[in-house]
Amino acid sequence: MTARCAVLLAAVSLSAFAGSRPRPGGTLQLVLVSPSMTVDPSSADAPIDAFRLSLTHQPICRLVDMTRSPGVLKLTVPASVDVKFVTEALTRGAPLLTNVGAPNVNGREVELPIRGARTDLERTLCHPLFSLPVGPFKVKGTRLEAFDEQPMGRPYLDGLALQATDARTAERLFAQRRAQLVVGASTPTDAPQLFVTALALGPGLANVRTAIESSIDRADLARFFVPAPSAALPSLQPGATPTTPTPARPSPVTPAQELTLSFDQTAEHERGIAQRLQVKLQPFGYRVALKPVPRAEVKARAPGANELVLRSFALPPSPTGALLMWLSVAGQQARAAAVLQSISSAPDADARARDLSLQLANELNVIPLVTRGLGVSATRDVQHLTRDAMGLPRVDDAFFSAE
């Protein structure tokens, strides 16, 4: 079995009704709870953005056959995919490719030299950064139509009628049966939540970290400021429990210290979290000025002296890949090779990556805060809506019931 097949078999079924028969064709009325309908792979940091991207793009792990031999991962690119898209995606996702050499292209084969063990590599290539502009649907006017040359096979659906709107309007459209699927709904899910928001600290702000860790209730941040489904993130790995106790509340600093907290001006949950942090830090003697900035600026900058930056990003669906992403966000990529060496020498790489994440958490200048998932509401005739490795709904698997 190829690694690509293993990734596909790991997809989690969201709804599959026994006895339902697929009815190929039809147009799905799809509503996104989102202010925008467009996104690119480098900015798919929110689950709704990554889902929108997945309609017209797919990651390397799904589109390309992957086979291993000693020291090499070979990618066999299908005829409908331009090889340059693969090399461009590998360049874009370079922070997650520690111990992976420059790609060697030979026709439709791309070989990735691997130094040491990277048992997580196939799963890491499911991250949105590695998306290729070949998806199950193609844009045609105001709708998306099924792409017949999709390497994974043509979707059951003929197309999607897509609309982006706010949560209240989406609920009304669904209640009126003018929408058959709402993505971004505040509904619970047991799918992975790999989209995280964290606080990056500037140099010399260890006392600020202690003040935050001792006073912030992450569950409250998720409950009050992040649309459901969401959860507290007390560690670098979703679902992991920190082994260190909550620090004691420090004494207020004197004189008062001025700080700047930057956040994505388009992310409402970041604005709410920033305001809560501002209030929580005041009793400790920190005067925090909030600074909304464009998303591209947030992603490009490292926090300077007396500066905090809220960062939202997606973790790869593997513990090793997730740890590499945290090192990148913290500006600690120089440590990645040593971390990978420690992981590769362990009999269970995933368990070792989780252990290292717990050990390194307090050494990185970044504080994990919350995770975000993606809820859906679907009418009964929308069947077989599965999830991919990132926990996102796969509309290309869905069909209308014939019953």
In angstroms, the CA 403 to CA 33 distance is 29
Name the 3-class secondary structure at 383. Answer: strand
Alpha-carbon distances, residue 26 vs 85, 89, 158 (angstroms)? 30, 32, 5
What are 366's two structure tokens? Answer: 């970044």
User: Which runs of consecutive H residues, i.e. helices, occur in 40-146?
Assistant: 47-56, 60-63, 83-92, 121-124
Q: For each successive 10 residues of the chain (403 residues), what is the average pLDDT?
A: 44 42 86 85 91 96 95 95 97 96 97 91 97 94 89 92 95 96 92 96 95 96 96 94 85 95 96 98 98 92 93 97 97 94 93 96 96 96 94 95 73
In angstroms, the CA 301 to CA 299 distance is 6
Residue bearing tokens 């942090």: 277
Torsion from C-alpha of 7, 9, 10, 13, nearest 10 degrees: 130
Q: How many residues does the structure list for the chain?
A: 403
Domains 22-57+135-187+374-402 and 195-372 share a fold: no
Sketch the domain layout of the chain as residue ranges: 22-57+135-187+374-402, 67-123, 195-372
- What pLDDT score does 15 carry? 41
- What pLDDT score does 129 carry? 96
- What pLDDT score does 3 carry? 47
The set of residues, in sequence order, having a beta carbon less than 8 Å from that of 355 and lying 6+ positions away, is none
What are 179's two structure tokens? Answer: 């929408």
At the second CATH level, the architecture of 22-57+135-187+374-402 is: 3-Layer(aba) Sandwich (3.40)
**Domain at 195-372: CATH code:** 3.10.105.10
- What pLDDT score does 17 carry? 40
The set of residues, in sequence order, having a beta carbon less than 8 Å from that of 114 and lying 6+ positions away, is 71, 72, 73, 99, 100, 101, 121
- What pLDDT score does 403 carry? 61
- What pLDDT score does 8 carry? 41
pTM of the entire predicted model: 0.91
Q: To 10 degrees, what angle do helices 336-344 and 319-329 make? A: 160
